[in-house]
Amino acid sequence: MTSLYGINNCDTVKKVRKWLDQQGIEYDFHDYKKSGCNPTLAKTFLKQFELDTVINRRGTTWRKLPESVKTSLNSDSAIKLMTENPSLIKRPIFHYKEQWLIGFNEQQWLATIRP
């Protein structure tokens, strides 16, 4: 199954959705704002990527967190944060066959879908 995870109004996600359509790739879109991020999905992301890769430390949501939460971040606390604040998850995340990609790098994505 092919899935794209993100937030519909994110500019990068919009760009990726258009790009995937141009490539003729069908996918299910999981919008965190509408569907959330349950603990199972958060754990799946953390199995595929390093914690520091999954958490978006550049966004407003991260900057608004208390310093104590930021400095004590670990896998368990990250799962809780990701379920409560899905905007903290770097986007997009793409699951294609057995491959997982995070962030958009066109060359990397092309190599994944057209090996």
pLDDT of 78 strictly over 80? yes
Arithmetic mean of pLDDT over the chain = 95
d(CA 29, CA 12): 14
Architecture per CATH, 3-113? 3-Layer(aba) Sandwich (3.40)
pTM comes to: 0.93
C-alpha separations of 69 from 12, 74, 85, 101, 102 in Å: 27, 10, 13, 27, 24
Residue-wise pLDDT for 37-71, tens only, equals 999 999 999 999 999 999 999 989 999 999 999 99
Percent of the chain with pLDDT over 70: 100
Every domain of the chain and the residues it spans: 3-113
User: Is 37 among the residues known to form the active site?
Assistant: no
Catalytic position from the list 10, 25, 51, 65: 10
pLDDT the model gives residue 114: 87
Write the single-letter amino acid at 96: Y
The pairing of strands 28-31 and 99-102 is: unpaired
